[in-house]
Amino acid sequence: MRNIGVWIIATVLSATVQAQVSPTTRDSPQHAVSSQVLIVAPLGSGHAALHYGWQTVDGTNLFYREGGPANAPTLVFLHGSPTSSIMYQAVMEQLAATGKLHVIAVDYPSYGYSDAPDRRKYSYTFEHIAQTVARFLVARNIQRYALYMQDYGVPIGFRLIQAAPNSISAIIVQNGVIHLDGFPAAQDPDSKLNKYWRTRDLASDQQFAKEAAQMPFPSSANWTQGPNILPDNELLTIISQQRPGVVDAHLDLWFDYGSNMPLYPAWQSLLKSLNVPVEVIWGSHDNYFTVPGALAYLRDAPKAEIHILDAGHFATLEDPDAIATLVAGFTSRHDLW
Rounded Cα gap, residues 65 and 54, in angstroms? 9
The 3-state DSSP class for residue 291 equals helix
Rounded Cα gap, residues 16 and 72, in angstroms? 41
**Among 92, 114, 111, 110, which Cα is nearest to 101's?**
92
**Among 235, 233, 212, which Cα is nearest to 318's?**
233
Asked about 250 being catalytic, the answer comes back as no
What residues pair up with 32 in beta bridges, in sequence order? 38
Q: Which of 79, 102, 179, 313 is catalytic?
A: 313
**Among 324, 332, 268, 335, which Cα is nearest to 297's?**
268
**Among 23, 268, 315, which Cα is nearest to 151's?**
315
Rounded Cα gap, residues 220 and 235, in angstroms? 13
Rounded Cα gap, residues 296 and 251, in angstroms? 28
Peptide bond into 82 cis (omega under 30): yes
CA atoms in the 13 A half-sphere facing the CB of 164: 19
Q: Which residues have a catalytic role annotated?
A: 313
